[in-house]
A and B are shown apart, each in its own frame.
Chain A
Amino acid sequence: ETGVTQSPTHLIKTRGQQVTLRCSSQSGHNTVSWYQQALGQGPQFIFQYYREEENGRGNFPPRFSGLQFPNYSSELNVNALELDDSALYLCASSPEPTLAVRQFFGPGTRLTVL
Chain B
Amino acid sequence: SQQGEEDPQALSIQEGENATMNCSYKTSINNLQWYRQNSGRGLVHLILIRSNEREKHSGRLRVTLDTSKKSSSLLITASRAADTASYFCATDGRTSGSRLTFGEGTQLTVNP
Contacts and interface: CB of A to CB of B under 8 A. Distances in A.
A104 B45 CA distance: 7
A41 B50 contact: no
Interface residue tally on B, bucketed by range: 20 to 34
Contacts of B31: 99-100
Q: Interface size bucket, A side?
A: 20 to 34
A105 B100 CA distance: 12
B60 interface: no
Interface stretch (A42-50, A66-74, A77-85): A42-50
Interface of A: 2, 4, 33, 35, 40-45, 48, 50, 55-56, 58, 88, 90, 92, 97, 99-108, 110
19 contacts: A4-B42, A35-B100, A35-B102, A42-B103, A42-B105, A43-B43, A44-B102, A48-B99, A56-B98, A56-B99, A88-B40, A100-B48, A101-B48, A102-B48, A103-B43, A104-B45, A107-B42, A108-B41, A108-B42
Interface of B: 2, 4, 30-31, 33, 35, 40-45, 48, 50, 88, 90, 92, 97-105
